[in-house]
């Protein structure tokens, strides 16, 4: 298992894809060092396009390249990718159903010191609502590497949500990432936590603390937000009788709503809580400070578990 940021796993996968698939091309909007596309550009300069601070042009160029049979990964900070290019994403990528992979790095309030204007907390809401678009958020370095490979083979628009901060490795090479499949990390009872991205790690820390009180939730990594693993959600919600979702995203439009929709549509009535940003902008600070202040830390996940067990 390898520790590291999901953006680093993405960068490693791009190098591997560059060697194995000559159709893979990478585009960046002037942040290639931070987004981890720079090594690909050094290794394969003829297949790397630094578009500068021109995100809309980058997305349209990626769509054009896709129509020629290339597999473009258009990469920049999530706040810039979704904040400045929605028209191009809607028309040139989604409506046109072009084979473009949009990689948004530095997502969520975990980006910390970059400040609230860079803390993209609505990107899953945006992309979940777009027809033809799938939405993926890996939980560690290895899953990010595998997800990048899988998306290169997938035909159609995709949004890959990546983080800035270093995460503890959860998976080794024996793990198999599959689009639309959740993964049970810990099997427990009485409550199930569906977590995504960095909140998988916070949930694991919460479970270590809860174990001392003989509380053993089930923990599931939901790395595909759309299409979501409805069968697994239904099964585990019925088995455990209470559901918590955990994500570094606004409480509207992200994982919590995706899971809630599955429960509602299948007439599953169980206590349900969201650990998420509570419809507010954060401030500047470290990721740990912001997670604690805005309700996303392991302490808050553990608190949510105790509260929902009382509701049962």
Same structural domain for residues 13 and 139? yes
Structure tokens at 183: 């993964």
C-alpha distance from residue 297 to each of 7, 99, 226, 246, 258 (Å): 21, 36, 25, 10, 21
Identify whether 283 is a catalytic site residue: no
Distance CA 292, CA 99 (A): 39
Provide the H-helix boundaries in the chain.
6-20, 32-35, 38-43, 55-67, 78-83, 86-88, 123-128, 141-153, 198-211, 230-240, 255-265, 287-293, 298-311
Please tell me the predicted confidence (pLDDT) of residue 232. Answer: 98
Give this prediction's pTM: 0.97
Same structural domain for residues 39 and 75? yes
Determine, yes or no, domain membership for 173.
no
Same structural domain for residues 151 and 194? no
Q: Are 240 and 268 in contact (CB under 8 A)?
A: no
Q: What is the DSSP string of 168-183?
A: -----TT----TT--E
Same structural domain for residues 41 and 106? yes
Q: What is the pLDDT along the chain (312 residues), one digit of tens a residue?
A: 899 999 999 999 999 999 999 999 999 999 999 999 999 999 999 999 999 999 999 999 999 999 999 999 999 999 999 999 999 999 999 999 999 999 999 999 999 998 899 999 999 999 999 999 999 999 999 999 999 999 999 999 999 999 999 999 999 999 999 999 999 999 999 999 999 999 999 999 999 999 999 999 999 999 999 999 999 999 999 999 999 999 999 999 999 999 999 999 999 999 999 999 999 999 999 999 999 999 999 999 999 999 999 998
- Taking residue 269's Cβ as centre, other Cβ atoms within 10 Å add up to 8
Number of domains in the chain: 2
Same structural domain for residues 126 and 215? no
Full residue range of the structural domain in which residue 295 is found: 183-311
Determine, yes or no, domain membership for 167.
no
Determine, yes or no, domain membership for 174.
no
CATH number at residue 209: 3.40.50.920
Please tell me the predicted confidence (pLDDT) of residue 107. Answer: 97
Determine, yes or no, domain membership for 272.
yes
Please tell me the predicted confidence (pLDDT) of residue 167. Answer: 96
CATH number at residue 23: 3.40.50.970
Same structural domain for residues 148 and 22? yes
Residue tagged active-site, from 16, 43, 46, 55: 55
Same structural domain for residues 222 and 140? no
Determine, yes or no, domain membership for 30.
yes
- When computed from its CA atoms, the radius of gyration of the chain, rounded to whole angstroms, is 19
Determine, yes or no, domain membership for 168.
no
Same structural domain for residues 25 and 154? yes
Same structural domain for residues 144 and 207? no
Determine, yes or no, domain membership for 171.
no
Please tell me the predicted confidence (pLDDT) of residue 195. Answer: 98
β-sheet with 183-186: strand ranges across: 183-186, 218-221, 192-195, 243-250, 272-277
Distance CA 232, CA 64 (A): 37
* Pairing of the two strands 134-136 and 158-161: parallel
Same structural domain for residues 118 and 223? no
Q: Are 211 and 205 in contact (CB under 8 A)?
A: no
Same structural domain for residues 150 and 189? no
Same structural domain for residues 191 and 305? yes
Determine, yes or no, domain membership for 175.
no
Please tell me the predicted confidence (pLDDT) of residue 312. Answer: 81
Q: Are 145 and 101 in contact (CB under 8 A)?
A: no
């Amino acid at each position: 298992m390898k520790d590291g940021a999901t953006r680093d796993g993405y960068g490693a996968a791009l190098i591997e894809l560059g060697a194995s698939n000559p159709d893979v091309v990478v585009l960046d909007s002037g942040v290639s060092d931070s987004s981890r596309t720079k090594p690909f550009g050094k290794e394969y300069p003829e297949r790397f396009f630094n578009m500068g601070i021109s995100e809309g042009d980058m997305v349209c160029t990626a769509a054009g390249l896709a129509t020629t049979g290339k597999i473009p990964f258009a990469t920049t900070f999530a706040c810039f990718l979704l904040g400045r290019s929605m028209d191009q994403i809607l028309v040139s990528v989604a409506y046109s159903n072009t084979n473009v992979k949009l990689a948004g790095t530095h997502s969520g309030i975990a980006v910390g010191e970059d400040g609230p204007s860079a803390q993209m907390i609505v990107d899953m809401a945006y992309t979940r609502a777009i027809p033809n678009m799938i939405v993926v958020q890996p939980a560690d370095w290895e899953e990010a590497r595998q997800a990048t490979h899988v998306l290169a083979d997938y035909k159609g628009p995709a949004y890959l949500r990546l983080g800035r901060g270093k995460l503890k490795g959860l998976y080794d090479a024996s793990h198999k990432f599959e689009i639309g499949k959740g993964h049970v990390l810990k099997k427990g009872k009485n409550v199930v936590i569906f977590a995504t991205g960095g909140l998988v790690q916070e949930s694991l820390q919460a479970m270590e603390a809860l174990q001392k009180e003989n509380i053993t939730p089930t923990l599931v990594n939901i790395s595909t937000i759309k299409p979501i693993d409805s069968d697994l959600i239904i099964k585990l919600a019925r088995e455990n009788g209470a559901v918590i979702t955990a994500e570094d995203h606004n409480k509207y439009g992200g994982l919590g709503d995706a899971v809630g929709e599955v429960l509602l549509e299948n007439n599953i009535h169980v206590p349900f809580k969201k650990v998420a940003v509570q419809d507010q902008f954060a401030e500047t600070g470290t990721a740990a400070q912001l997670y604690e202040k805005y309700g996303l830390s392991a302490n808050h996940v553990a608190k949510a578990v105790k509260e929902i067990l009382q509701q049962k």
